[in-house]
Every structure is written in structure tokens, then in C-alpha cells.
Amino acid sequence: MESPAVTFTLAYLVFAVCFVFPPDEVRSAGLTVQSLLAAWLGSEDAAFVQYHLRRSTGTLLAHSLLPLVLFPAVTSALAYYWSRKGWNNHPLARTLAVHALPQSGWRAVASSINTEFRRIDKFATGAPGARVIVTDTWVIKVTTYCLHVAQQQDIHLTVTDSRQHELTPDSNMPVQFLTIRVASINPYVKAFDIRLNSTEYGELREKLRAPISNAANVVIHQSLSDLFLETFTSLVEINQTYSVPSTQELEPCIGCMQTIANIKLIKNCQEPNEGECQQCYCRPMWCLTCMGKWFASRQDQQHPETWLSSQVPCPTCRAKFCILDVCIIR
């Protein structure tokens, strides 16, 4: 027979472990440090750095209250010390100060991060204990107790490892996780590792200004649409090019509003009256990436082998075209 003390101890251990490493069920029931302290933490979107100053301190305190760790007095003193002078003593303030210009302090860095975190075009992924956030200037990894912060212009990234996980319930493809080492030329920034699903690799690369080298020669299983986009681009690059009349001004692509339109559809695949393709008379309105995404979106998702040989309608006038008809403007 088990004694009540053993049962209680076991139950308590389970509770403590779930509190420190919350599984999804516990998370969705709201039993995490983040949700219990929500009112004090404030909003991550409104002030990212201030939120994580409080979150890391609160997490350390809450975990130390569990007898598993047994240091509540020490951590309370530490938390009090950290919070003095507007959090000046917190390790995160020191992490940020490394990036500050001589005449400004860590708060200037914090406000840059806060502003960029609020933008919707940031890259964000990962489980709550190992989140990765990439903004225009910053690469940030959020862990349970701390934040790693590096500046995009200082870093080089290397794929160091990949792990294949077999079928997950919500997908029928094996999942590949990549480990990427982020190293900074700033001697005060320690290198750190980020992990992400290989299907997010294309999106990460788009957000980064530095290239990612592949030390481990890992074959990266990108998402189907990323792979298609690469193939589409390389095929279009060997097509005939088109030069616009010098009087014609090119406008930003109406798909992304980021790049200048650089695609003109010209029926080159066959003679004018032959085949299924038609001549499009639209002025250039799209960029290569958006045209590739449009082309992919009009395909039979179950039969990727037919994608390269099919015709799709021009997004504006609906005239049919194929890959051979996509001309880059030079």
C-alpha cells in the first residue's frame, strides 16, 4: 500500500514539473506564470522588452517558490534588486546595453525592439520556451529566463544540425527541424542557437539580410511553395527579356507594394494563333515573386508534377499564359 505522504509527494512533483515545463493542456487551461501574472506583465505587443523584463523575473520567482528549488528568499532579493532604478540592474538591460550607442542607453535599444516587434511583417516562430523573432534590425530568442539579442548587421548564420521527426498528426510529411547558430561579430554578444521547422526556412531567409551558410551540408526540406518559387524563378530567368519604352514609368508591384513591377507577359511559347496561351496587353504590374506565388496558387495542390507545364490566367486580364511567357523587364 502507498502511504498518503508518497501519493501527495508524487502529485506535488507532477504539479511542480507541469508548472515549470507546462504541457499544452496546462497552457490552454491558463496555468502558466505568464497567464497568472498577466495583469502585472502588461502587453507584449505594446512594450516587448518591458514585458520580458517582468516575465523573466516573475518566472524565476514563481519557480523558486516551489520547494523543488528552495531559494525563494534569495530570488526575492534578486528580483527586488533587478527591478530597482527602472530595471537598470536586470541582466536583460545589460544584454541590450551592449547594442546601445555610446551616448544612449539600453532604453533606446528597447524602444527600437518594441517598435519593430509591433510590425506585422516580423518573422516569429517557436514554442513558448524557445521563441525566435526576427525584425528588420534584430534577431531575438526568447527562453524561459532570458533573451538573446543580436543585431542583423553583425551576424552570420550557419545551419549546424537537422533532425527529422516522423509523421505528426496534422501533416502527412515528415517534419524536419533545423538548428541554426547565430554568431555575432560583436564580442559582447554570445553565439546562440535557434531552431525552426524547415518549411519556415524560406520565410526566415526573406527576413534576414545576411545569408545563411550550411556547414553541415544539410538538405533542407523547404515548403512546396518555396521550392516551386525557386524553380519558377530559375526558369523565368532564362526566358526572353522585355525592355519597356523609355517613356514608360514602372510602378510598385500591386501584389506586395515593395518591389518595382518587373514582369511582362508576352506569348512566346507558340505562334500567336496556336495553343491555349493568349496575348496579355496589361502594362507591367507585378514582380517576379508575386507572379510566382500567383502561378502556384492557381495550381492543383494535389498534383505538383503538373505545375510547370500548366497555363494560368493573367491576374488582371485573365489571358492565359505559361511559364515560357513570363518575361523579366531589363
> Judged by CB under 5 A, how many residues of this single chain contact Zn ion?
14
Looking at the Cβ atoms of 165 and 318, the one nearer to Zn ion is 318
Alpha-carbon separation of residue 224 from 125, 208, 293 (angstroms): 19, 21, 11
* Core vs surface per residue 32-56: b (16+ CB within 10 A) or e: bbbeebeeebeebeebbbbbbbbbb
Q: Helix (H, G, I), strand (E, B), or coil: what is residue 139? A: strand
Near Zn ion by CB under 5 A: residue from 53, 113, 196, 280: 280
When binding is defined by CB under 5 A, the residue of 79, 110, 290, 328 that contacts Zn ion is 290
Contact between 322 and Zn ion per CB under 5 A: yes
Contact residues for 145 (Cβ-Cβ < 8 A; gap 6+)? 56, 59, 60
Q: Is residue 325 near Zn ion by the rule CB under 5 A?
A: yes
Under DSSP, is residue 269 helix (H, G, I), strand (E, B) or coil?
A: coil
Host H or E run for residue 33: helix 33-36
Residue window 239-268: x/- pattern of binding to Zn ion, with contact defined by CB under 5 A: --------------x-xx------------
CA nearest neighbour of 132 among 144, 120, 124: 124
C-alpha to C-alpha distance for 163 and 195, rounded to whole angstroms: 10
Among the residue ranges 30-38, 53-61, 221-229, 317-325, the one whose residues contact Zn ion (CB under 5 A): 317-325
Closest approach, Cβ 274 to Zn ion, in A, equals 10
Q: Minimal distance in Å, beta carbon 267 to Zn ion?
A: 6
Q: Is the CB of 111 or the CB of 259 nearer to Zn ion?
A: 259
Q: Closer CB to Zn ion, residue 60 or residue 291?
A: 291
Instruction: Give the largest CA-CA distance in the chain.
Output: 92
Q: How far is the CB of 233 from Zn ion (least distance, A)?
A: 13
317 part of the interface to Zn ion, by CB under 5 A: yes
Among the listed residues 314, 326, 327, 328, the single contact to Zn ion using CB under 5 A: 314
Q: How far does CA 27 lie from the centroid of its chain?
A: 22
Q: Which residues in this chain contact Zn ion in the complex, by CB under 5 A?
A: 253, 255-256, 269, 277, 280, 282, 287, 290, 314, 316-317, 322, 325
